[in-house]
Structure 1
Amino acid sequence: MRKTSFFLFIAVCLVIAFQCCTSNSSNQPKEEKVPERISYNFDIRPILSDKCLACHGPDANKREAGLRLDLAENAFQALKENPKAHALVAGKPELSAAYLRITSKDTALLMPPPSSNLKLSQHEINLIEKWIKQGAKYEKHWAFVAPKKPAVPEVKMTDWPKNEIDNFILQKQEEQGLKPNQEADKERLLKRLSLDLNGLPPGLQMMDEFLADTSPAAYEKMVDKLLRNAAYGEKMALHWLDLARYADSHGYQDDGYRTQWPWRDWVIHAFNNNMHYNDFVTWQMAGDLMPKATKEQLLATGFNRNHKITEEGGIIPEEYRIMYVTDRNDLFGKGLLGVTLECAHCHDHKYDPFSQKEYYQMFAFFNNVKEVGIESVIGGPETYAKKPLMEISNEDVKNILTFVNKQDTNRLIVSVMGDLDTTRKTYVLKRGVYDAPGEEVQPGTPSSILPFSNKYPKNRLGLSQWLFDKKNPLTARVYVNILWQEFFGKGIVKTSGDFGMQGELPSHPALLDWLASDFMEHNWDIKRLVKQMVTSATYRQSAVVTKDKLAADPDNILLARGPRYRIHAEFIKDLVLSSSGLLNKTIGGPSVKPYQPAGLWEGATSGRGLLSVYNQDHGGSLYRRGMYTLIKRTVPPPTMGIFDASNRDLCEVKRLKTNTPLQALVMMNDPAVLEASRVLAAKLLQEKTESEAKIVKAFRLIVCRTPSEKEVGVLTAYYNKELKTIKPEAAKKMVAIGEYPITKNIDIKTLAALMRVVSTIYNLEETITKT
């Protein structure tokens, strides 16, 4: 029987396979059209980068046959193995050895070799052939050419654009035969805007005022109001904390406590004060080197002391000191330049024109910090920060650092930057090994981006001046792209940490250059840039998607509909606390330890220091915003980790977005969500209204819109069912969750029934989704 079943299974599989083959053969995909004019940057370079440059690119150690295809002067040279031949001959693919090899039928000659598991498609071959026929003209990588402000394009739907952004977006849509969506309804639009600018849902009063304001300026007035709210600084700070790898512990095995939170207070303060991006970054890069540096400027340099620091005995100090410098160098490359500079740590970059020598020239800017690999063993307050450091006194908080939320009289110490009195020599490290010095190097920058000018001092202040040189092609583009990602879900360059050869091409290159140029022209004004983005018609579109649009543009690259995606982990907590009325709106101060499953820290610790045991906080500390949750690097907050929050080990410019059953389990079982459900239910029961009105109010507070009659009907029926069936013991157990006091003189069964309804609303997909 088993053999019969097996052969029957094989027969069925063969039939299905045959049907698939015949179906495919009669329905072959159409061959892609080759553009009239071939662009090296947008048509050819991606092919070379994916299929050729690993063996024929910038990395001299891995280069085969002495052939380099990423530079024109090398590609047109006579071949090392055959001086009479050339890889490329302009206008003549039949004489171009590279073309002949990619079209060869001989597997011994075919490139890429079959052993590489890489293969060029016919479309890619056609592109290369036409490019060679058109002269095989090379272009400097688009991201390494300083942006020039393009003209704002003309469009057919002249009544749609609200500002210049929309002309660039609409032009692409019209080219593809698409039309933008209508503007989202006011309730959904306000929720989107409030989450994006404050990280919080709008309250009922804000919703009612916005709905009642029928003036043409209603939306812009609301934008301005949210930009003035102190919560703006907290919301904007979150992506910067990811980038700066901020955490509350040192990392590694002991993972001791650190007090870098005053730097976080400064970041929030800087965003709220609209410190322009050039000053914001310069203070963090080199505040200690500025003329007559203030304590605030010195505090800002905590940015480059947020990296992991070991406190373990038995380590080699120089090895770890080199790791700290490497971390800063890699952060500078990824976070501020948007390139994978770290790939040149051990050898020349395989894809981008960064040599290992240039990596260590950049490294030299960060190599002079007055620090050691290990300073002390884990212990008392003196280990909360590592030298160089600064102490923040009560007098400082009263007069200078007024934004620092210092809540007690204990010593408050922060790690900051500070250089040695003499220059520490920097060498190329062979294979990246700390004790294998090679050639000595001086501070410098990759020439492919922008050579380092002699007019700048050879220190971190000079590096920051280089970073904001108007000729620097990356700085403005990279930050504009990160902000676009914050509001639209993905960057104009999808790979926001990689603008190099292996990164994605920009979906709207002209728009990116226009925004970058405009940002620089207006003195790097962040709030102005934010307002430009959120007041655009592009941003204000409905997120509703039709079948036609989904088929034409499934990933919404052309932005013919509004963004729709789950909000960040911290903002999920904020939404729950805010809508229930539990939110503690205190800004800044030390991080807090909210509810967490027992035993997590204790099961992953060396057993030493303040963070060896999880001592949960109580009272108002339980209801702080998500960004203030204490991050222990070896055991990051589990609830936030499940929702893809960064563990802050390294610079992160883009969070992952995953969907797992664990996320639903968190929303159904997290004590913070259940407690908020109980507290909101109790508040509603104290109001002299019908059950339907209570449910409508809960829905508006949580989902931020008025529910439909059907939604109200379903939830009301659920409430009535729970009221009848819930047992007193179960109700009593349910309402006991959380430390917030239970409202006196309230029926426990009624409270539990409405609590379940509120919890259900919190578990709607729409609740934690920006639509």
Structure 2
Amino acid sequence: MHRRLIALLPLALLSTLALARRETKLWSLQPVALPAVPAVKTVGWVRNPIDAFVLAKLEAKGLRPAPEADKRTLIRRVTFDLTGLPPTPQEIDAFLADTSPTAYEKLVDRLLASPHYGERWARHWLDVARFGESHGYEYDHVRENAWRYRDYVVGALNRDKPYDQFVREQLAGDVLPGAGPEGVIATGFLVAGPMDEAGKSAPGTLVRLRAREEELEDMIGVVGQTFLGLTTNCARCHDHKFDPISAKDYYRLKAALIGAHPGNRPVVPQEQLDLRARQAASLRNQQAEALDTLRRLEEPVRTRLLQEKSAHPAPGGPAPLLRWSFESLDGGTLRGGAQLRNGRLRLAGAGASFESAPLPVAVQEKTLETWVRLTDLNQRGGSALTLETDGGGAFDAIVLGERQRGKWFAGSEFYHRTRDLEAPQETPGELVQVAIVYHADNRIQVYRNGKPYGAAYTPDGEGASLRTYPAGKSHALFGLRHTGSGDTLSGEIEEARLYNRALTATEVAESFASAPFYVTPEALERGLSPDERTRRAALQAELERLQAQRVSVETPVQTYGVNSQRPGPTYILPRGDVQSQGELVTPGALSALTECSADFGLTTETPDGPRRLALATWVTNPKNPLTARVMVNRVWQGHFGRGIVGTPSDFGNNGEAPTHPELLDWFATAFSGPGEWSLKRLHRAILLSSTYRQSSASNPRGIALDPDNRLLWRMAPRRLEAEAIRDSMLAVSGKLNPAVGGPSFRPFTVSTFTSDFYTLLDRDTPEFNRRTLYRMIVQSARSPLLENFDCPDPSTKTARRTVTTTPLQALALMNDSFVLRQSRAFAERVAKEAGSEPSRQVAHAYTLAFGRPPTLAERTRALTHLSAHPLDSLCWALLNASEFLYAK
């Protein structure tokens, strides 16, 4: 009878009953209560309540803790844990020499105060936040300003910002009362995940809706997993199968976040942006007045010098195939507002261009040459002269700023014949000659004012061969990079020439010197009187000052974060289908957390800001049992390799149960108490405990009863993460650049044609020798060395890194160019600091790599090795050793 009644119940009611049943059983949703500290037999081992909770479990199993680790092991362990770097020999010696009872306590306090603490623990947080610096998907464009969120996390941790405030800022920092730049930057958390640019810009409405729905699921998932330890995103299509999270809860969370959109935004408020716009307009007017005064000062001298040049012309330069002086159209066509004025082609505005008549003869080997004056450097991708086939399918061009601001390069279709150049930025307002020579052997050289501009290069790969432009089916184009391009050059072109051969360096210089309309700055300077030179120098200095001010004002600091938009209505979507529409919902949260109301009291008309602010307030409500538990568990995992809950982002029924639930609640209560939420105090309590100070010594009984060490009867050895391995190599080699913060270094070059394409680089420069945290993380340019050591995909929420052992790791340590370079630098450092005596070199190398001197057997083997091999081979072997890769 009972079963028949259940079978007759409506499905919705059964679902409600199932949710209620799961709710009552799920331990993590119960209120946090302060448990009593248990009594233990070995009272002398207990330094703080952590030890009592751990020891009680051990004693119940008949286990005993391992002996305390020696001081060398402790300083190496805790230094890696808090900074991700090895201790220096000097730090080790100072700690060993300090025999006071508080020596270890002082060590912990010093490391917590180090700026490298924030770098180390920011990496843990960024794993969970799925932080990346490109969009992912097929376009994978770089996020130029995403690094500011990374620096926000580092700074917040170093300042020990209260964790509840840290959470609120990442959810609603831009709308908190008194929100400043830091709050705006903090919202980078919500939008740090991948973004489907193609889907969001697709012509079809359905594709765009689906892409946006995926984006919102990512946001909901990261909020639920990071702060609450629950897989809320599993309820997108139906009620959660295992946890008390209904589909309605999911869509109420969606309603709370639906106004958050990703993108760049200024970190200053709108009123400051309006003020900057007024300042920029004033600066532009001042620039125009100063430039007009300078031209009036120079014009008489320039006119006289040009007359003299005309009367006594320099030896004629090479004869071009075609020459455009822009006195008339000469069969060409003006488009997009381009103008011919006073013998110049003036280009301004979107699409402004000039297309020549078709080429009279075919052109292959060639030289493109133009005299151009730019209005400013705030432009990218326009061309001063392009040679292209009809329709722009193939082209070679003199392009400005498309890949490097203010720099010229040889543009080509799909960048087949393009290389970025080590050359200075252009100067706005100055008339300059730019020429590109395409040799028969495919070598390309760019020139500026008759001199090489960057190094010559020979392109290779698909499409790199010298192009042929057929007669009658090709033409010159000015302003646009190619037909159909959206980027226009902003400036004036005085003259342009096309040669159907490759000019020599001498001929390019002669062409520059013989231009009848050009006066060199040096000649102009000589033609002025001493008083005029003084006035001219003052005007030039004033123009430089105004330009610098204008750049500063017109380029407000940007960050990649939440761009708030007015939310539309939110409906439950049965099975997650955007083409279906169920019940209309208002912003809210998880109804299973009965201690804090899931109803925010908002309407469907409430703007974005109050919605996210209400969510942030709900997450950090002291009665929310999840927020403190989850963060305490993450910190515990960072120190022991495994959390009290082994699934740090899943406190649901599918996650692991806590090994020490009373300890977790005791810690969560202390962490979230009034005036608390201090992460540094949390670290300190763990690090000063006897539990943490245990050695990694094993014993048969512990292995038999608790092989995974879940009861913490010893400190299990742990392999360093990929970033710590790389950083440690830099540290022991003496190459580490300790600079904190700022834009990421880019270990790749980027080619852009709709999508971004990355080619990895490995350079030995201070910028490339920064900590791995400051390496730009893009989806399509992952480091093989880091990836081999389990560095996670930045697009995923990584609650706990996997630790694998593969042959590729050994091969990378043996052969990777970075490892080999650090081995050589390590050897150079040892030779410099220890001298030429082999036994001293061996001792110093071991101390740097392992934090200890070599044993007698190690010393003997190393000296034997050095008798037949160079020092860098010994250093290479030490960097490959397990002891270097593990902290115990």
Tell me, yes or no, whether TM beats 0.5: yes
Which residue identity does 1:627 align to in structure 2? L
Identity %: 37
In 1, distance between residues paired with 2:754 and 2:13?
46
What's the RMSD between the two structures over aligned residues? 2.8
Map 1:50-449 → 2, pairs under 5 A: 71=20, 139-259=24-144, 260-312=146-198, 314=202, 316-369=207-260, 386=263, 390=267, 412-420=557-565, 422-449=566-593
1:556 positional shift? 0.4
- Aligned residue for 1:416, secondary structure, equals strand
Map 1:519-538 → 2, pairs under 5 A: 519-521=671-673, 523-538=676-691
Cα pair distance change 1:439/1:62, threshold 3 Å: closer
Q: Is the 8 A contact 2:180 2:268 kept in 1?
A: no
Which residue identity does 1:567 align to in structure 2? L
In 1, distance between residues paired with 2:755 and 2:269?
23
1:318 positional shift? 2.4
Does residue 654 (structure 1) correspond to residue 800 (structure 2)? The answer is yes
Determine the structure 2 residue equivalent to 1:116.
none
Which residue identity does 2:671 align to in structure 1? F
Deviations 1:164-207 (A, max 9, x none): 10000000000011110111111111110000001100001100
Cα pair distance change 1:266/1:712, threshold 3 Å: same
- Return 5+ residue gaps in structure 2 as ranges: 1-5, 274-550, 603-609
Cα pair distance change 1:228/1:348, threshold 3 Å: same
Q: Is the 8 A contact 2:37 2:53 kept in 1?
A: yes
In 2, distance between residues paired with 1:252 and 1:370?
17
Deviations 1:293-333 (A, max 9, x none): 11111111111121212332536322222222211101011
In 2, distance between residues paired with 1:585 and 1:183?
32
Determine the structure 2 residue equivalent to 1:549.
702
1:389 positional shift? 5.1
Q: Is the 8 A contact 2:629 2:665 kept in 1?
A: yes
In 1, distance between residues paired with 2:813 and 2:761?
23
1:436 positional shift? 2.2
Determine the structure 2 residue equivalent to 1:762.
879
1:516 positional shift? 0.5
Which residue identity does 1:334 align to in structure 2? Q
Deviations 1:589-611 (A, max 9, x none): 222234x8xxxx99xx9854555
Determine the structure 2 residue equivalent to 1:583.
736
Q: Compute the TM-score of the two structures, normalised by the length of structure 2.
A: 0.63
In 2, distance between residues paired with 1:456 and 1:156?
53
In 2, distance between residues paired with 1:225 and 1:502?
40
Q: Is the 8 A contact 2:759 2:781 kept in 1?
A: no
Which residue identity does 2:784 align to in structure 1? P
Which residue identity does 1:770 align to in structure 2? A
1:434 positional shift? 2.5
Does residue 671 (structure 1) correspond to residue 671 (structure 2)? The answer is no
In 2, distance between residues paired with 1:611 and 1:685?
42
Match of 2:623 among 462, 471, 474: 471
Does residue 621 (structure 1) correspond to residue 509 (structure 2)? The answer is no
Which residue identity does 1:262 align to in structure 2? R
Q: Is the 8 A contact 2:69 2:694 kept in 1?
A: yes
Cα pair distance change 1:520/1:720, threshold 3 Å: same
Q: Is the 8 A contact 2:590 2:598 kept in 1?
A: no
1:688 positional shift? 2.8
Which residue identity does 1:169 align to in structure 2? V
1:339 positional shift? 0.8
1:391 positional shift? 6.9
- Aligned residue for 1:437, secondary structure, equals coil
Cα pair distance change 1:434/1:67, threshold 3 Å: closer
1:157 positional shift? 0.7
Does residue 500 (structure 1) correspond to residue 386 (structure 2)? The answer is no
Determine the structure 2 residue equivalent to 1:383.
none
Determine the structure 2 residue equivalent to 1:742.
none
Cα pair distance change 1:254/1:139, threshold 3 Å: closer
Which residue identity does 1:217 align to in structure 2? T
Determine the structure 2 residue equivalent to 1:593.
746
1:548 positional shift? 2.6
Q: Is the 8 A contact 1:59 1:348 kept in 2?
A: no
Q: Is the 8 A contact 1:61 1:347 kept in 2?
A: no
Deviations 1:267-291 (A, max 9, x none): 1111111101001111111011112
In 1, distance between residues paired with 2:866 and 2:82?
34
Determine the structure 1 residue equivalent to 2:643.
491
1:701 positional shift? 0.9
Cα pair distance change 1:392/1:770, threshold 3 Å: farther
In 2, distance between residues paired with 1:556 and 1:193?
19
In 1, distance between residues paired with 2:821 and 2:601?
56
Cα pair distance change 1:240/1:628, threshold 3 Å: same
Deviations 1:84-118 (A, max 9, x none): xxxxxxxxxxxxxxxxxxxxxxxxxxxxxxxxxxx
Deviations 1:541-590 (A, max 9, x none): 00111223212211001101013111111111111101111000011122
Determine the structure 1 residue equivalent to 2:291.
none
Cα pair distance change 1:440/1:452, threshold 3 Å: same
- Aligned residue for 1:415, secondary structure, equals strand
- Aligned residue for 1:474, secondary structure, equals helix
Deviations 1:326-379 (A, max 9, x none): 1110101111110111111111111111111111111111102256xxxxxxxx
In 2, distance between residues paired with 1:689 and 1:161?
49
- Aligned residue for 1:350, secondary structure, equals coil
Map 1:600-749 → 2, pairs under 5 A: 607-608=753-754, 611-614=757-760, 619-686=765-832, 687-688=834-835, 690-722=837-869
In 2, distance between residues paired with 1:542 and 1:60?
56
Q: Is the 8 A contact 1:391 1:414 kept in 2?
A: no
1:437 positional shift? 2.2
In 1, distance between residues paired with 2:168 and 2:574?
31
Q: Which structure's residues are more often helix, by fraction?
A: 1
Determine the structure 1 residue equivalent to 2:532.
none
In 2, distance between residues paired with 1:638 and 1:391?
39
In 2, distance between residues paired with 1:651 and 1:678?
37
- Return 5+ residue gaps in structure 1 as ranges: 1-54, 75-137, 372-385, 397-407, 723-752
Q: Is the 8 A contact 2:53 2:662 kept in 1?
A: yes
Q: Compute the TM-score of the two structures, normalised by the length of structure 1.
A: 0.72
Q: Is the 8 A contact 1:538 1:559 kept in 2?
A: yes
Deviations 1:647-692 (A, max 9, x none): 1113221111111111111111122221111112112223335212
In 2, distance between residues paired with 1:62 and 1:542?
55
Cα pair distance change 1:700/1:60, threshold 3 Å: farther
1:418 positional shift? 3.9
Determine the structure 2 residue equivalent to 1:107.
none
Cα pair distance change 1:328/1:225, threshold 3 Å: same
Q: Which structure's residues are more often strand, by fraction?
A: 2
Q: Is the 8 A contact 2:255 2:586 kept in 1?
A: yes
